[in-house]
Amino acid sequence: FPYLPLSSTGDDSSRKAIAVMTSGGDAPGMNSNVRAIVRTALFRGCRAYAVMEGYTGLVEGGPEYIKQMSWDDVRDWSSQGGTNIGTARCKEFRTREGRLLGALHLIEAGVDALIVCGGDGSLTGADLFRHEWPSLIKELLDTNRITSSQYKTYQHLNICGTVGSIDNDMATTDATIGAYSSLDRICTAIDYIESTAFSHSRAFVVEVMGRNCGWLALMAGIATSADYILIPEKPASSRDWQDQMCDIVAKHRNRGKRTTIVIVAEGAISADLTPIKAEDVKEVLVDRLHLDTRVTILGHVQRGGTPVAFDRILATLQGVEAVDAVLESTPQTPSPLIAINENQIHRKSLVESVKLTKDVAAAIQAKDFKKAMSLRDTEFIEHLNNFMAINSADHNKPNLPHDKRLRLAIVNIGAPAGGMNSAVYSMATYCMSQGHKPYAIYNGWTGLTRHESVRSLNWLDMIGWQSRGGSEIGTNRTTPEEADIGMIAYYFQKYQFDGLIIVGGFEAFVSLHQLERARDNYPAFRIPMVLIPATLSNNVPGSEYSLGSDTALNSLMEYCDVIKQSASSTRDRAFVVEVQGGNSGYLASLTSMAVGAQVSYVPEEGISLEQLQQDIKTMREYFELSKGRNRFGRLILKSINASKVFTAEHLSDVITEEAEGEFDCKGAVPGHVQQGELPSPIDRTRGTRLAIRAVNFIENNQDVIAEARSDNYCYDPDDIALHATASVLGIKGSHVVLTSINQLYDFEAEISKRMPKFIHWTKTRIIADHLVGRKKL
């Protein structure tokens, strides 16, 4: 991206003009999308426009509705919920006359390309508009509403879709803008409900959004360990769902649970397509189980509030891609839809995506639920199976025969991270459904060697763990060799563990490697062992994601939003925020994009004096430019290890000094606040997914390990299958991947730096910088 003057509006009318619109139901993150589109358009040398109030803005036209946007107009929008350019459901646009007016007004404004952020309805309208464009402009020419020169100039309209919808119901993309924020609101509400339900030993039926899509209900069900969910894709007959629900709820109550939570998607139906409403569910719980039952319909709360980090980042990356897509489009290019698959931004066919989305609704209407389910991605199906395995299982009738039942241990190592409890809870409950015996090693390796802190996990004791922060079984940083590896082997032998799950960060990584190496001397370690990465630094080799990194990202983002507000209230103030993460710049880089920080300094790049000078110069320009206008706070994020010399305080003093009175700068240290209080829904649901995969890994590797458990075992470095029985379970894109610890330790890690060799977040840094006009030297 070229460096352009920060005040650029791209006023020259010969430049291409790109307009953005938000349409349909609003979704948190739409503002980040608009901000990214406006600023990227300006960076690309185009004019930027916002169409106000959805398609109504096109039908009405004029500079009030098709408004030229400058760089400053979208400042600070990332943290704001809803959509600042308005949205609407516009009947007129469904008619040809409405679309004709839309075409006229776009041509009058000189717009060449339109990016629509909305749901499938909005994108259907957009595609129809592009399809009709030639005939619309012909009619405008024939009726003398445009000149022949305008007719020639605006032969083609480029359209692009970015999907803004809280339901996460669009086919071909793994996530839609707003869905994770909405899930966050739902989980927070259910966490609140859970405590009052506990006090009165009540049942609550919670209705959440999702007309043809049960994603919100399913994910909230996992994240809050609800007792039962009702979703449109998997209906049962009227009798069956009632029996099944009552059976599961009664089982949980008989085991001693005081609360009952049933989540009903707005579009829940029985197999004969009869809608199931929250009141129907309540009636069943009252009549058949005599539970004191209340209904909570969450409604518009689910759309409200500030977007979570995931949505801000997704919307930003998609906005940048959308501008590039319309600039690269030719008249022959099918309209693109910007999707996220495997954590990468992709262009998909808009028409095809909308068609597939509509196919789900059609399949449900045709009672072809198998097809509806097959049109959902495999992750959705895996989550649904997981939910049923951990929440609905009958522990008296486990899935596996006696000879396949195992004794499995789980331990937390390193600093606490959001999602650790979710992993322990899910591992244990899944073990119970399979027939395995789950044990926790409390307080890490030292807990084991000093106090023999091994306890079997009990279902009732773990109620509520899914939504708790920290580590319920305790954690510390000591590695096996530091603690006493011989003693650890002794206890493994004593409890006859058949498999081990380690949940933690870099010390956990080192722990797994030490245990694998010690297999030669200690037969007790010749069992499948697997690591679930969990650390806010997100620096475990073999995974792009660690449990706790999303919770930390959101905690730091919220902290930065508050600091930024304080800075905005004080004239000409900037803050340097000190960020944790060891040698990893992940947290600082991603937060920087989510909050629109002016600068982020990370250990991978360090702080050079030249770059610091340049950054101060840019900030001075900013403060000069905004004199007499609205005040905005500026943030500088600095990873602790970005510089040994500059602490946040030092750096802020230097910046204040160099700013020569143009602005002043203060230091802010959030410290352990960054670990977060409650785990985010992403960390909770991924904790469950990884824990169940970890148990499956141990089950599947029993045969491989059997031979090695014999006494005449001799370490063979070439025995790849055996070494693969000690692996890291990572997430790459949306795939769960297993990589042997030896491979990672020897080839993919920089052990002295406690970092993976490959850094996967570099691109987000480049985009974050260009969206704030930072000049990189």
| Stretch binding ligand ATP (CB under 6 A), from 114-122, 363-371, 638-646, 729-737 | 114-122
> Smaller CB distance to ligand ATP: residue 96 or 627?
96
675 is in an annotated binding site: yes
Question: Measured from the CB of residue 121, what is the shortest distance to ligand ATP in angstroms?
Answer: 2
| Stretch binding ligand ATP (CB under 6 A), from 124-132, 283-291, 629-637, 654-662 | 124-132
Give the strand order in the sheet containing 260-265. 228-230, 260-265, 203-208, 293-297
119 is in an annotated binding site: yes
| 192 φ, ψ (degrees, to nearest 5) | -65, -45
Question: Measured from the CB of residue 58, what is the shortest distance to ligand ATP in angstroms?
Answer: 9
82 is in an annotated binding site: no
* Cβ-based neighbours of 517, under 8 Å, separated by 6 or more: none
| 749 φ, ψ (degrees, to nearest 5) | -125, 150
Reduced 3-state DSSP string for 452-484? CCEEECCCHHHCCHHHCCCCCCCEECCCHHHHC
Question: Measured from the CB of residue 161, what is the shortest distance to ligand ATP in angstroms?
Answer: 10
Distance of CA 156 to the CA centre of its chain: 36
580 is in an annotated binding site: yes
- Which helix (H) or strand (E) segment holds residue 770: the answer is helix 762-771
CA distances to 210, 217, 241, 498 from 271, rounded to whole Å, are: 17, 18, 9, 42
209 is in an annotated binding site: yes
Binding map of ligand ATP across residues 283-322, x = CB under 6 A, - = no contact: ----------------------------------------
412 is in an annotated binding site: no
Residue closest to 534 by CA, chosen among 386, 422, 426, 384: 422
Count of residues that interact with ligand ATP, criterion CB under 6 A? 17
Residue closest to 497 by CA, chosen among 431, 567, 576: 431
> Smaller CB distance to ligand ATP: residue 65 or 228?
65
* Cβ-based neighbours of 259, under 8 Å, separated by 6 or more: 194, 197, 198, 201, 202, 203, 204, 463
162 near ligand ATP (CB under 6 A): no
Q: Are 4 and 42 in contact (CB under 8 A)?
A: yes
> Smaller CB distance to ligand ATP: residue 93 or 601?
93
What is the token pair recorded at 428?
Answer: 């244990």
120 near ligand ATP (CB under 6 A): yes
94 near ligand ATP (CB under 6 A): yes
Q: How many CB atoms lie within 10 A of CB 669?
A: 14
Residue of 26, 73, 167, 683 marked catalytic: 167
128 near ligand ATP (CB under 6 A): yes
90 near ligand ATP (CB under 6 A): yes
> DSSP assignment of 683-748, as one string?
HHHHHHHHHHHHHHHHHHTHHHHHHHTSTT----TT-HHHHTTEEEEEEETTEEEEEEHHHIIIII
22 near ligand ATP (CB under 6 A): no
Question: Measured from the CB of residue 88, what is the shortest distance to ligand ATP in angstroms?
Answer: 7
477 is in an annotated binding site: yes
Question: Measured from the CB of residue 182, what is the shortest distance to ligand ATP in angstroms?
Answer: 11
> Smaller CB distance to ligand ATP: residue 132 or 658?
132
121 near ligand ATP (CB under 6 A): yes
Question: Measured from the CB of residue 55, what is the shortest distance to ligand ATP in angstroms?
Answer: 4
124 near ligand ATP (CB under 6 A): yes
465 near ligand ATP (CB under 6 A): no
| Stretch binding ligand ATP (CB under 6 A), from 113-121, 472-480, 555-563, 758-766 | 113-121
Q: Are 71 and 40 in contact (CB under 8 A)?
A: no
What is the token pair recorded at 600?
Answer: 């982020």
Per CB under 6 A, contacts with ligand ATP among 682-741 are: none
214/199 Cα distance (integer angstroms): 29
What is the token pair recorded at 224?
Answer: 């809050």
764 near ligand ATP (CB under 6 A): no
Question: Measured from the CB of residue 89, what is the shortest distance to ligand ATP in angstroms?
Answer: 3
585 is in an annotated binding site: no
| 423 φ, ψ (degrees, to nearest 5) | -65, -45
228 near ligand ATP (CB under 6 A): no
165 is in an annotated binding site: yes
- Residue from 19, 21, 24, 551 in contact with ligand ATP (CB under 6 A): 24
Binding map of ligand ATP across residues 594-633, x = CB under 6 A, - = no contact: ----------------------------------------
Residue showing the smallest CB distance to ligand ATP in the complex = 121
* Cβ-based neighbours of 703, under 8 Å, separated by 6 or more: none
- Residue from 125, 336, 533, 730 in contact with ligand ATP (CB under 6 A): 125
Q: Is 167 a catalytic residue?
A: yes
| 41 φ, ψ (degrees, to nearest 5) | -60, -45
Residue 506: is it exposed, middle or buried by C-beta count within 10 angstroms (0-12/13-18/19+)? buried
What is the token pair recorded at 316?
Answer: 């930003």
Residue closest to 767 by CA, chosen among 268, 32, 36: 36
Distance of CA 661 to the CA centre of its chain: 41
89 near ligand ATP (CB under 6 A): yes
Name the region of 5 (left: φ>0; alpha: ψ -120 to 50; beta: rest): beta
Per CB under 6 A, contacts with ligand ATP among 54-73 are: 55
What 3-state DSSP class applies to 76? coil
> Smaller CB distance to ligand ATP: residue 32 or 583?
32
> Smaller CB distance to ligand ATP: residue 175 or 408?
175
> Smaller CB distance to ligand ATP: residue 94 or 367?
94
- Residue from 17, 18, 21, 25 in contact with ligand ATP (CB under 6 A): 25
Residue type, 114: L
Residue type, 268: A
- Residue from 81, 119, 419, 447 in contact with ligand ATP (CB under 6 A): 119
Question: Measured from the CB of residue 150, what is the shortest distance to ligand ATP in angstroms?
Answer: 23
672 is in an annotated binding site: yes
Residue 564: is it exposed, middle or buried by C-beta count within 10 angstroms (0-12/13-18/19+)? buried
> Smaller CB distance to ligand ATP: residue 89 or 367?
89
| Stretch binding ligand ATP (CB under 6 A), from 87-95, 100-108, 201-209, 649-657 | 87-95
> What is the Cα gyration radius of the chain?
28
Binding map of ligand ATP across residues 38-57, x = CB under 6 A, - = no contact: -----------------x--
Residue closest to 735 by CA, chosen among 334, 382, 220, 402: 382
| Stretch binding ligand ATP (CB under 6 A), from 112-120, 229-237, 493-501, 527-535 | 112-120
Q: Residue 164 gets which letter from DSSP?
A: B
Q: Which residue numbers belong to the known binding site for beta-D-fructose 2,6-bisphosphate?
A: 477, 535-539, 573, 580-582, 666, 672-675, 754
Q: Which residue numbers belong to the known binding site for substrate?
A: 165-167, 202, 209-211, 266, 294, 300-303
Catalytic positions: 167
Contact residues for ligand ATP (CB under 6 A)? 23-25, 55, 89-90, 93-94, 118-122, 124-125, 128, 165
Q: Which residue numbers belong to the known binding site?
A: 25, 89-90, 119-122, 165-167, 202, 209-211, 266, 294, 300-303, 477, 535-539, 573, 580-582, 666, 672-675, 754
